[in-house]
């Protein structure tokens, strides 16, 4: 069978990280590894009420095939919500997707030929690396600073690619409380990025699953809000704001781009489930989504605070050790002294019943061996404290062993 595989399939390996994640699911382990939201934030009572209503009263629409663009009622409700954040959009600029990951896949499907170049943050979201690999793109990583992607380096790489005769197509970013680093892209850089996209004739994918989960500081306008010529493709996900089990999101882009993507979504799955779109529409229509987000933010802020405090308390003092202080989202990014190998640390941590993701997974170039990603979203504050206590102890031992 192997000789029948496409070139694309031959290039994709089974994710080692996901294999390692399975090991972290043993009982008794405090796992900061997965990026799952806390199920206690899901709108249980509301969904139970709506689901019944949608099935009984709206089954002719909600359980039938829908259009490839998506349920107009759901899309309009999302538009109304985004308009309150200062992002005016029309129906033909918004389509439904099976969460943001499908939006990302469809963008690749529409824009990438093998060998085309995609620029992403170093480190970046694992699912994006896998999507670009599946479309046989060349991936170029751009280092991030405290306020996001280094745009000087980006321009250098763009020039080099042009000189080498390569076709640069996409810049991919998670602008808010990035997965995995927790870092947020600054306002000045957002404007500048749009100028770069215009100058070099390429598109920006703004993947924003965490932007509405800001626990402190002022919101920064989306990259898309600076977009004059339809070069920004914004992915919105409801996986963290409602629940992941619906697999629901939208893609906002120019009507022209949406038209192209709809043409290729059609043979991909015909349409996003009418049922999940109906459920989300009726939620947005009948309940107070903003109040819900406020409530979720309080829950996650407490978890973030617990993790940051515990890191201060339980990790050893070392001049080369530091971590990000994310203003929102799910993730804290820890940099260890360069002489620590996070893979070795991972094994020892597992023995101490605490788990994280090794940072290398999020790099394209094998770097980040002394980094790790911690998610505070899933565990309760007291469990977070205990987990970080264990992790701190493991790190302390690793440092002592190296020094000794």
Q: Which of residues 29-48 bind its own copies (CB under 8 A)?
A: 36-37, 39, 42, 44, 47-48
- The nearest distance, CB 241 to its own copies, in angstroms, is 13
Q: Which is nearer to its own copies, 226 or 275 (CB)?
A: 275
Q: Which is nearer to its own copies, 165 or 267 (CB)?
A: 267
Q: Which stretch, 50-58, 86-94, 304-312, 319-327, contacts its own copies (CB under 8 A)?
A: 50-58
The single residue among 25, 59, 115, 295 that binds its own copies, judged by CB under 8 A, is 59
Residues comprising the chain, all counted = 404
Q: Which helix (H) or strand (E) holds 358?
A: strand 357-358
Tokens 């806390």 label which residue? 38
Q: Which stretch, 64-72, 287-295, 325-333, 364-372, contacts its own copies (CB under 8 A)?
A: 64-72
- The span from the CA of 315 to the CA of 396, in Å, is 7
DSSP assignments along 327-367, one per residue: SBSSEEEEE--TT--HHHHHHHHHHTTEE-EEGGGG-SSS-
- The nearest distance, CB 303 to its own copies, in angstroms, is 17
Half-sphere exposure (Cβ direction) of 221: Cα atoms closer than 13 Å? 15
The single residue among 17, 20, 23, 63 that binds its own copies, judged by CB under 8 A, is 63
6 lies in the site for its own copies, by CB under 8 A: yes
379 lies in the site for its own copies, by CB under 8 A: no
129-168: contacts with its own copies (CB under 8 A): 130-131, 133-134
DSSP assignments along 105-174, one per residue: HHHHHHH--TT-EEEEEES--HHHHHHHHHTT-EEEEEEEETTEE-HHHHHHHHHHHHHTT--EEEEEE-
202-241: contacts with its own copies (CB under 8 A): 202-203, 230, 239
Q: Tell me how many residues contact its own copies (CB under 8 A).
A: 78
Q: Which stretch, 72-80, 175-183, 258-266, 379-387, contacts its own copies (CB under 8 A)?
A: 258-266
296 lies in the site for its own copies, by CB under 8 A: no
- The nearest distance, CB 247 to its own copies, in angstroms, is 4
The alpha carbons of the chain give a radius of gyration, in whole angstroms, of 21
- The nearest distance, CB 69 to its own copies, in angstroms, is 11
Q: 6 phi and psi, to 5 degrees? A: -70, 160
Q: Which is nearer to its own copies, 196 or 342 (CB)?
A: 196
94-113: contacts with its own copies (CB under 8 A): 98-99, 101-102, 104-105, 109-113
Q: Which is nearer to its own copies, 186 or 244 (CB)?
A: 244
First to last CA, the chain: 52
- The nearest distance, CB 248 to its own copies, in angstroms, is 8
| Residue whose C-alpha is closest to residue 300's, from 126, 124, 182, 146 | 182
- The span from the CA of 346 to the CA of 203, in Å, is 37
DSSP state of 13: P
User: Under 8 Å CB-to-CB from 304, ≥6 apart: which residues?
Assistant: 215, 326, 332, 376
């Amino acid at each position: 069978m192997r000789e029948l595989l496409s070139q694309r399939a031959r290039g994709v390996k089974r994710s080692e990280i996901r294999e390692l994640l399975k090991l972290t699911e043993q009982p008794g382990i405090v796992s900061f590894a997965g990026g799952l939201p806390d199920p206690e934030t899901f709108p249980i009572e509301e969904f139970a009420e709506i689901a019944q209503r949608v099935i009984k009263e709206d089954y002719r629409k909600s359980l039938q095939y829908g259009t490839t663009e998506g349920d107009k009622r759901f899309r309009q409700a999302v538009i109304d919500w985004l308009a309150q954040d200062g992002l005016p959009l029309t129906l033909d600029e918004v389509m439904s997707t099976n969460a943001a990951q499908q939006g990302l896949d469809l963008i690749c499907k529409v824009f990438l030929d093998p060998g085309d170049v995609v620029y992403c943050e170093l480190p970046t979201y694992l699912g994006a690396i896998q999507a670009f690999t599946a479309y046989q793109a060349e991936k170029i990583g751009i280092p991030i600073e405290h306020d996001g992607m280094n745009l000087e380096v980006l321009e250098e790489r763009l020039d080099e690619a042009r000189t080498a005769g390569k076709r640069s197509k996409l810049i991919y970013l998670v602008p808010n409380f990035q997965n995995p680093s927790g870092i947020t892209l600054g306002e000045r850089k957002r404007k500048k990025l749009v100028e770069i996209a215009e100058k070099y004739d390429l598109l920006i994918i703004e993947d924003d699953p965490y932007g509405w989960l800001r626990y402190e500081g002022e919101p920064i306008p989306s990259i898309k809000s600076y977009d004059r010529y339809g070069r920004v493709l914004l992915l919105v996900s409801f996986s963290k704001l409602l629940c992941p089990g619906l697999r629901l999101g939208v893609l906002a882009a120019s009507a022209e781009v949406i038209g192209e993507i709809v043409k290729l979504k059609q043979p991909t799955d015909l349409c996003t489930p009418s049922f999940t779109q109906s459920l989300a529409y009726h939620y947005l229509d009948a309940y107070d989504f903003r109040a819900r987000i406020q409530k979720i933010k309080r829950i996650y802020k407490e978890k973030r605070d617990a993790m940051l405090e515990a890191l201060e308390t339980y990790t050893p003092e070392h001049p080369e050790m530091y971590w990000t202080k994310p203003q929102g989202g799910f993730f804290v990014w820890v940099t260890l002294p360069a002489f620590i190998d996070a893979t070795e640390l991972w094994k020892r941590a597992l023995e101490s019943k605490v788990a994280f993701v090794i940072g290398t997974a999020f790099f394209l170039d094998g770097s980040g061996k002394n980094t790790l990603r911690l998610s505070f979203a899933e565990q309760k504050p007291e469990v977070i404290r205990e987990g970080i206590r264990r992790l701190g102890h493991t790190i302390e031992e690793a440092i002592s062993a190296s020094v000794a």
